Amino acid sequence: MKYISSICAIVILTCLHTFAQNEKKQPDFSGEWVLDAKASFPGDFEDYVLVISQFDAELKMERSFKFNGISYEYSVTLFTDKRGETNLEGNPKEEIKSKTFWKKNVLVREIVPKATITSGFNYIVERYTLSTDCNTIELTRTTRFVSKHPNPNAPADPDFDRVVRFVFIRKPELAGGVPS
């Protein structure tokens, strides 16, 4: 009986070890990144720096940039396990609620819809993709403007999407990061 128990334990441990090796590790976005304005749309930003710290399910982003001659700085903390997060973002700063998760090797952040009197509901999805050489991050941000507003006096506009694409390159002295 002990012999059978030992064999079962070995088989279970072997299966668990194989499963753990096959489980895909998510990309590591940690590092300092600068905006490639020529590859981005819109490219109206100056001195855009993105610093990312990633540990387990917590990802912190610090952004600083100039837009139309005005300097901006803000930080966000994201949790990649869908628990949700609340951060102060934008100008003026406002409370933004979102949920962040992995979809294969793409980091997806869904910003909870909110209503504004002028533009109806805004639903925002950000997708962060790390290149295979770990030296480029592509951020695609899709904002869906939905005209159905709870206020019947709000202006009626058709639904539409606005997509922006930011390409960040790893700061040159840090290029060649550890692949995921």
Residue 8 lies inside a defined structural domain of this protein: no
Print the domain residue range for 105: 26-173
Banded pLDDT at 27 (limits 50, 70, 90): very high
Question: Does 16 fall in a domain?
Answer: no
For residues 97 and 108, the answer to whether their CB atoms sit within 8 Å is: no
18 belongs to a structural domain: no
Does 180 map to a domain? no
- Element holding 108 (H helix, E strand): strand 106-116
Q: Tally the domains of the chain.
A: 1
pLDDT band at 144 (very low <50, low <70, confident <90, very high): confident
Question: Can you give the CATH number for the domain in which 122 is found?
Answer: 2.40.128.20
How far apart (Å, rounded) are the C-alpha atoms in residues 161 and 141? 10
- Quick check: is 13 in a domain? no
The stretch 70-77 carries a mean pLDDT of: 92
pTM to 2 decimal places: 0.74
Q: Which two tokens stand for residue 79?
A: 């949790």
Residue ranges of E strands in 41-90: 45-55, 58-67, 70-79, 85-89
Is residue 17 very low, low, confident or very high in pLDDT (cuts 50, 70, 90)?
A: very low
Is 14 domain-assigned? no
- DSSP codes of every residue in 154-166: S-----EEEEEEE
Q: Is residue 111 part of a domain?
A: yes
Q: Is 178 contained in some domain?
A: no
Average pLDDT of the residues of the chain: 79
In the predicted structure, residue 74 carries a pLDDT above the cut 60: yes
